[in-house]
Amino acid sequence: MERKVAIVTGGSRGIGQAIAVKLSEAGYDLVLNYRSREDEALAVKKVLEEKGGVCEIVQADVSKFDDAKKLVQFAKKTFGRIDVLVNNAGITKDALLPMMKEADFDAVIDVNLKGTFNCMKHAMRVMMKQKSGVIINISSVIGLMGNIGQTNYAASKAGVIAMMKSLAKEGGSFGIRANAIAPGFIQSRMTDNLPEEIKEEMLKAIPLKAFGQPEDVANLVKFLASDDARYITGQVINVDGGMVM
């Protein structure tokens, strides 16, 4: 396959790392974004390069308009084009609504929602000139169903779905596709550290009776980015073991 170029935000660990690995294996040159964990980003870069991939890392806080612009401009200047943007960067600051601090609401919206807007806006300009491109927003089942203690997170993840749908309508005539993925409970450092009784309670809500793996999300990103998904746009696809069914 002819090598294409993909930007993955929040790509230094977890789902973002799995996405970066999967796209690199599929022949994409990677621009891997991180905010603060340079050591982890460098470790991912090393893994990809050892497998013959091409990866550049860029420090940027995507919640800042100019940082997101810098990220996109770096990708364009370095590789000449941008074929795929995966908006994966996200944070949580959980609390019941009466106790939620305004600063914690703002922080989650700034990174998860505005950060996605910032990256889409800058990448869209490049993709419109190319007359091609794919944007994939990593949302969450929480954006579809809500969750106790996650008003801010739910709002941000519902927002990235709504933005994706609008972008899909705007970008279609330019050959730009946009979709969203809504992961459920994906195995991570957080889930590994949960007490067994909490895990058992969570699993009761999942028909497949297992947590997902980061690779489950990455496999779908690879498909949606490819020409095999050329007629799919404006969609939200759950990777949740049937939890929201």
- Residue 151 near residue 194, CB atoms below 8 Å: no
**Closest among 91, 37, 86, 44 to 63, alpha carbons compared:** 91
Catalytic entry in 28, 34, 153, 231: 153
Per-residue model confidence (pLDDT) at position 1: 55
pLDDT tens for 80-95 read 999 999 999 999 999 9
Q: Is 153 a catalytic residue?
A: yes
Supply the pTM of this predicted model: 0.96
- Give which of 98, 185, 124, 114 is closest to 155, Cα–Cα: 114
pLDDT for 13-40, tens place per residue? 999 999 999 999 999 999 999 999 899 9
Give the CA-trace dihedral at 145, 147, 152, 158, to 10 degrees. -10
Q: What is the band of 121 on the pLDDT scale with cuts at 50, 70, 90?
A: very high
Least confident among 89-98, 185-194, 211-220: 185-194
Q: Is the pLDDT of residue 190 over 70?
A: no
pLDDT at 150: 95
> Residue 97: what pLDDT?
97
Take residue 147 and report the two structure tokens written for it. Answer: 């969750």
